[in-house]
Amino acid sequence: MALDYATYAEAKQKFSFDERWAVFSGSKENFNIAYECIDRHPKENDALRIKFDDGKTEIYKFAELSRLTSQFAHFLARRGINEGDRVALILNPSLEFYVTMFGILKRGAVAVPCFPAFGPDAIEYRLRKSDAKMVVTYQEKASAISRSSAYQIVIADDLSRLLQGEDEEFKPNTAADSLAVMQFSSGTTGTPKIVPYRHAAATLTALNMKMVIGLRKDDRYFCPSSPAWGHGIWYGSVGPVIFGNAIGAYSGKFKAETFLEALEEFEINNVSGTPLIYRLVRESGKIGDYKLKLRDLSFTGGPLDVETILYFRDKVGVAPRSFFGSTEVGVVVLEFPFEDWVPKPGSLGAPMPGLEVAVLDESGSVLPQGQIGQIALKLKDRWVRTGDAAYVDEDGRYWHKGRIDDIIISAGWTIGPQEVEEALAKHPAVVRAAVVGSPDPERGEIVKAFIVTDRAPSEELKSDIQAFIRARLSRHEYPREIEFVLQLPETPDGKIKRSELRALERARKEALIKHSEERPKDTESKI
């Protein structure tokens, strides 16, 4: 089958990007993600397995998803949603989410996934910027959405009733270049921006599921990432069902034991997650309590410490593999899933076959082995920088050295400081604020805010500001640390010098680590 390679050597020799089209039934002129992922597979096979944070599980067949997505596509047409119209989804992984997402794509409309933990400010920003015509969400979330005349609100709790009587078959009318998904992602400016994907994006996802995830025909796959983000959309929701493998999803607040229970119950052998997932499983100390059948583990969204990688290798015989890229350009370098690949724990891996990747200096020159610069990908005779620092070793492996720009990567989440700063500015006690990433051993970075206030600084004020941001943005975006300052470093034209604040934070954390290492070791607890 296309894209099925046994070895890295074979992939390097034979792979062609055009090969990805052979995986699908459609052509460039007639191509639809929902049809390719849902409608063309054996109806009796499992299509969706969900583990909820309360321990409940749900399993659905392709027959159910095919019927319900067609009914939702007809429902959208009847509600006046036309091809190209934007429909926002504010839902956790659930039958309702997958029915509505694939139903939107089947209709030829554009899905705009939004993280359900977002507060009203963050949601309203995304609805306005995407020009949403409809919002699908839960009853409890609907009350926080502005009742603007610009879009309809559909309550997902009522979905089964709303679809009654709708036709159970729908013929898509999209092409490979038809717009399919609008994902919001923080760019190098820190402002949430729209990353558009066309239906052809599924062909690159197919490539990544084989070459990056190592998905095999009989794999039982699981991706616990939220489908509001790139990893959860393409690797969690679209990727497996391209090949007829079931989606494996986690819904709700992450709990290591519930996650491990899902892996055992669903007999999962292939997992892709963020570094935090693996750290939390390790910290739980419970992995040995479950009968696991793991064959392959992968991660993206930030570095994973070598200690955790080796922990999984020792406990389950599988070391998590890294893959690295960006929302805009896809996977750039990775630790491959092939049998002849020799892993280096902690390495980002080597470039994807067919891509020209290098480490550049500030002038754009390619750096030699061992010298740190910025990872870049060559596209159409120009270098596209990723914003990440790295060096290349003697084996051609890339080693990550952190972010170059202002973007904060915390536990796999990409956070733009400007959005947090704008939310902080709405608090009555905040005169001005600057947000940077502060080094953290567990999350990679945490959000830290430097705040100028006209009130008396206190722990109570810190807690109040943190609660204010959690309610307006999301749990992962609020500042876990706040420092009150008299003034912020600025350029002559009034721009905040975040680089100075980041350097200050790095120096402080390094000093704390050094102080901890220099303390006497014979300080046993007297309690």
Q: How many CB atoms lie within 10 A of CB 441?
A: 9
Using CA of residue 136, residue 142, residue 146, residue 152, what is the dihedral sign? positive
Asked if residue 389 belongs to a domain, the reply is no
Residue 180, strand partner residues? none
pLDDT for 10 beyond 50 = yes
What strands lie across the sheet with 247-251, from one edge to the other? Answer: 57-61, 46-52, 247-251
pLDDT of amino acid 486: 95
Averaged pLDDT for residues 5-19: 91
- Nearest alpha carbon to residue 154 among 181, 172, 132, 121: 132
The pLDDT tens digits for 419-465 are 898 899 899 999 999 999 999 988 999 999 999 999 999 999 999 99
Instruction: Band the pLDDT of 144: cuts 50, 70, 90.
Output: confident
Instruction: Band the pLDDT of 191: cuts 50, 70, 90.
Output: low
Q: 21-30, 294-303, 410-419, 517-526: lowest mean pLDDT where?
A: 517-526
pLDDT for 326 beyond 80 = no
pLDDT of amino acid 497: 84
Tokens 């029915």 appear where? 99
Instruction: Band the pLDDT of 327: cuts 50, 70, 90.
Output: low
What total number of domains does the chain contain?
1
* 8 A C-beta contact, residue 475 and residue 410: no
Averaged pLDDT for residues 322-338: 88
Averaged pLDDT for residues 358-375: 94
* 8 A C-beta contact, residue 479 and residue 447: yes
Q: What is the 3-state secondary structure (H, E, C) of 343-395?
A: CCCCCCEEECCCCCEEEECCCCCECCCCCCEEEEEEECCEEEEEEEEEEECCC
pLDDT of amino acid 149: 63
pLDDT of amino acid 262: 98
The pLDDT tens digits for 21-50 are 999 999 999 999 999 999 999 999 999 999
Write the CA distances from 358 to 73, 321, 362, integer angstroms: 44, 21, 13
pLDDT for 328 beyond 80 = no
Q: How many CB atoms lie within 10 A of CB 480?
A: 15
Q: What is the CATH number of the domain that holds 472?
A: 3.30.300.30
Q: 12-16, 72-76, 192-196, 270-274: lowest mean pLDDT where?
A: 192-196
Asked if residue 494 belongs to a domain, the reply is yes
Write the CA distances from 165 to 68, 134, 168, 174, integer angstroms: 11, 21, 9, 25
What strands lie across the sheet with 192-198, from one edge to the other? Answer: 152-155, 132-137, 86-90, 110-113, 179-186, 192-198
pLDDT of amino acid 518: 67
What strands lie across the sheet with 321-326, from one edge to the other? Answer: 221-222, 270-273, 296-299, 321-326, 330-334, 350-351
pLDDT of amino acid 334: 97
Asked if residue 133 belongs to a domain, the reply is no
pLDDT of amino acid 523: 42
pLDDT of amino acid 117: 85
The pLDDT tens digits for 62-91 are 999 999 999 999 999 999 999 999 999 999
Averaged pLDDT for residues 122-126: 90
Buried b (16+ CB within 10 A) or exposed e, 34-67: bbbbbbebeeeebbbbbbbeeeeeeebbbebbbb
pLDDT for 243 beyond 60 = yes
CA distance 281 to 140: 31
Q: What rounded mean pLDDT belongs to the chain?
A: 91
Instruction: Give the strand pairing for 221-222 and 270-273.
Output: parallel
The pLDDT tens digits for 367-425 are 999 998 999 999 888 999 998 888 999 999 999 877 777 778 898 887 878 789 889 98
The pLDDT tens digits for 194-204 are 899 999 999 99
Asked if residue 525 belongs to a domain, the reply is no
Asked if residue 441 belongs to a domain, the reply is yes
Could you say which DSSP state residue 157 is in?
Answer: G
pLDDT of amino acid 46: 98
pLDDT of amino acid 21: 95
pLDDT of amino acid 491: 60
pLDDT of amino acid 188: 37
Which domain does 415 fall in, by range?
Answer: 408-518
Instruction: Give the strand pairing for 357-360 and 350-351.
Output: unpaired
pLDDT for 526 beyond 50 = no
Asked if residue 167 belongs to a domain, the reply is no
Averaged pLDDT for residues 115-129: 89
Asked if residue 103 belongs to a domain, the reply is no
CA distance 244 to 221: 11
Q: What is the 3-state secondary structure (H, E, C) of 252-293?
A: CCCCHHHHHHHHHHCCCCEEEECHHHHHHHHHHCCHHHCCCC
Residue with more model confidence, 389 or 245: 245
Instruction: Band the pLDDT of 494: cuts 50, 70, 90.
Output: low
Asked if residue 437 belongs to a domain, the reply is yes
CA distance 158 to 156: 5
pLDDT of amino acid 189: 43
pTM of the model: 0.81
| Residue 47 DSSP SS3 | strand
pLDDT for 226 beyond 50 = yes
pLDDT of amino acid 266: 98
Structure tokens, 62: 């392709």
Q: What percent of the chain has pLDDT over 70?
A: 94
pLDDT of amino acid 29: 97
The amino acid at 64: E
